[in-house]
């Protein structure tokens, strides 16, 4: 069983020619609402990856915004541990998606900020606990410490970016960040590889957008170049990567295999609109992988050079 503890938001999405600059008003093209939130997105991705029963601990308000979130997760066959906060609104996110598929997001956390340490369910039968940082970091730390003490693998997607307390990092087995989040974790910069060597977590995965991703597992480095796709909307691509990665690790697959499948799922998510609505199912990811051969040596070399692997 994979347990995801994190946020659930209803996304209010406007498509526009470009993301507004400060003080600028942009006329949008379309408006849609989608179920979202990093935690719920990752739970949906984990469940859709198949082979790994998935549960989620989440907090919701007692309002209409909660209904599509519950329906989406239940449709993905995610077992729910729901904390109701009747005096809080369900979390919401306001997203502008530009024609180039980039996005800008503002989140009103609402009930998400009211998940507390006592809400974590029993962990018997749980192999991995997957979390993000859209719930209070004190709660994330408490969950990580309890799971670590129970022998559960703790996976933290340190997003949105913020500094992490040492006691949290000490309880994390796998840290997943993008390049900006990686720099927030460390006080010092340097190449991606140099920064990876400084983080005292057994396994660290860094997603690098259209370049691909790199992982350090103890002293070994793994590279996974990105797949070439025409992006429509990058919302939830990182969440799709995280959920799929943990699902395949939960099935006992190698990190190298999990990185490849997670990268394919994230690429597919970029070809559709919305957050949970864009997350592919396992059969679509399998078909995508069959149609895309393994990267050639030149792609591995380019990614390694960007990360500073040769220089290290």
| CATH code for the domain of 169 | 3.40.1190.20
Q: Tell me, what's the pLDDT at 146?
A: 97
Query: Where in the sequence is the domain holding 66, given as residue range(s)?
Result: 2-7+37-90+121-307
Catalytic residues: 239
CA separation for the pair 173, 289 (Å, rounded)? 28
H helix runs in the chain, sequence order: 38-49, 66-75, 137-149, 166-169, 179-185, 192-198, 237-250, 255-269, 282-291, 297-307
**Own/partner long-range contacts of 164-170 (Cβ < 8 Å, ≥24 apart):** 164/137, 165/137, 165/141, 167/141, 168/137, 168/140, 168/141, 168/144, 169/199, 169/200, 169/201, 170/200
Residue 145 lies in a domain: yes
Query: What are the structure tokens assigned to 34, written together?
Result: 């989608």
Q: What pairing do the DSSP bridges indicate for beta strands 128-131 and 2-5?
A: parallel
Query: Does residue 31 fall inside a structural domain?
Result: no
Q: Is residue 225 part of a domain?
A: yes
**Model pLDDT, residue 277:** 75
pLDDT digits (tens, 9 = 90+) for 158-189: 999 888 999 999 999 999 999 999 988 887 77
- The answer to the question of residue 218 being in a domain is yes
Inside any domain, residue 25: no
Q: Is the pLDDT of residue 311 over 60?
A: no
Q: Is pLDDT of 236 > 90?
A: no
268 is a domain residue? yes
154: in domain: yes
C-beta separation of 274 from 233 below 8 A: yes
Gap between the Cα atoms of 156 and 252, Å rounded: 18
The total number of structural domains that make up the chain: 1
User: What local confidence, expressed as pLDDT, does residue 233 receive?
Assistant: 75
pLDDT tens digit sequence for 104-161: 889 899 999 999 999 999 999 999 999 999 999 999 999 999 999 999 999 999 999 8
In the predicted model, is pLDDT for residue 240 greater than 60? Answer: yes
* Per-residue confidence (pLDDT) for residue 126, from 0 to 100: 96
| pLDDT for 312 | 47
CA 89 from centre of chain: 23
The answer to whether residue 19 is domain-embedded is no
């Amino acid at each position: 069983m994979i347990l995801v503890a994190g946020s659930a938001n209803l996304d209010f999405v406007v498509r526009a020619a470009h993301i507004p600059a400060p003080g600028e008003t942009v006329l949008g093209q379309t408006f849609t609402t989608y179920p979202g939130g990093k935690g719920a997105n990752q739970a949906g991705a984990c469940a859709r990856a198949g082979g790994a029963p998935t549960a989620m601990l989440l907090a919701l308000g007692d309002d209409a915004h909660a209904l599509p979130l519950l329906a989406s997760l239940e449709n993905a066959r995610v077992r729910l541990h729901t904390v109701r906060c009747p005096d809080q609104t369900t979390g919401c996110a306001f997203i502008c998606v530009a024609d180039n598929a980039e996005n800008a997001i503002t989140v009103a956390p609402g009930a998400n900020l009211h998940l507390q340490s006592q809400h974590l369910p029993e962990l018997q039968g749980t192999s991995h606990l997957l979390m993000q940082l859209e719930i209070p970091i004190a709660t994330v730390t408490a969950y990580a410490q309890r799971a670590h003490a129970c022998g559960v693998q703790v996976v933290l997607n340190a997003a949105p970016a913020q500094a992490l307390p040492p006691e949290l990092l000490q309880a994390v087995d796998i840290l997943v960040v993008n390049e900006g989040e990686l720099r927030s974790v460390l006080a010092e910069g340097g190449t991606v590889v140099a920064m990876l060597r400084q983080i005292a977590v057994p396994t660290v995965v860094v997603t690098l957008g259209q370049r691909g991703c790199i992982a350090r597992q103890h002293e070994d480095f793994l590279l996974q170049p990105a797949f070439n796709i025409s992006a429509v909307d990058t919302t939830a691509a990182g969440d799709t990567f995280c959920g799929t990665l943990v699902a395949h690790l939960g099935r006992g697959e190698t990190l190298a295999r999990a990185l490849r499948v997670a990268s394919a799922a994230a690429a597919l998510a970029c070809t559709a609109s919305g957050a949970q609505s864009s997350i592919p199912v396992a059969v679509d990811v399998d078909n995508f992988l069959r149609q895309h051969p393994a990267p050639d040596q030149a792609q591995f070399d380019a990614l390694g050079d960007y990360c500073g692997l040769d220089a290290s």
